[in-house]
Amino acid sequence: MSPSTIQDALRATNQIFEEEVVRKRNFQALERVYTNDARILPPGAPMVSGREAIIEFWRSMIEGLGVEDGALESVDLIVSDVITEIGRASLNLIDGSRVEAKYVVTWKREDGSWKWHVDIWNMNA
């Protein structure tokens, strides 16, 4: 697929989320947005696995918050050979407390080494 064809395909899926899911609250349309074994990593909550659980998450979130409409905007796409890592991180602080986070890292090879290319994280609680 050419880059513009891929962009169009991705935009079409994002529009299902904007129009069907958020605006019309047709949560079954999430079957066309998420893969069957998708995972979401929301801030302030543990990871949610599988499309059925994800549908319940968004139903509860969108109805609970009272979301009226929403917009998704692509900032960048990385279509070359990458690896996605889902992980957990824990940091111990000098004051004795501990920070727990979950993350998604997109890995890319640079100069023969695999490195972190996109790195996003949030907390479970």
- Which of 60, 91, 124, 125 is in the footprint of its own copies by CB under 8 A? 91
- Which of 40, 45, 50, 56 is in the footprint of its own copies by CB under 8 A? 40
**Can you tell me the distance from the alpha carbon of 20 to that of 83, in angstroms, rounded to the nearest whole number?**
30
Burial of 77 from C-beta contacts in 10 A (0-12 / 13-18 / 19+): exposed
Residue 107 makes contact with its own copies by CB under 8 A: yes
- Which of 32, 46, 52, 53 is in the footprint of its own copies by CB under 8 A? 32
Residue 2 makes contact with its own copies by CB under 8 A: no
Residue 86 makes contact with its own copies by CB under 8 A: yes
Q: Give SS3 for 22.
A: helix
Instruction: Give whole-number Cα distances, 22 to 12, 62, 101, 124, in Å.
Output: 15, 7, 27, 24
Residue 124 makes contact with its own copies by CB under 8 A: no
**Can you tell me the distance from the alpha carbon of 39 to that of 88, in angstroms, rounded to the nearest whole number?**
14
Residue 10 makes contact with its own copies by CB under 8 A: yes
Residue type for position 48: V
Binding site for its own copies (CB under 8 A): 6, 9-10, 13, 22, 32-43, 47, 65-79, 82-95, 99, 102-104, 106-108, 110, 113-123
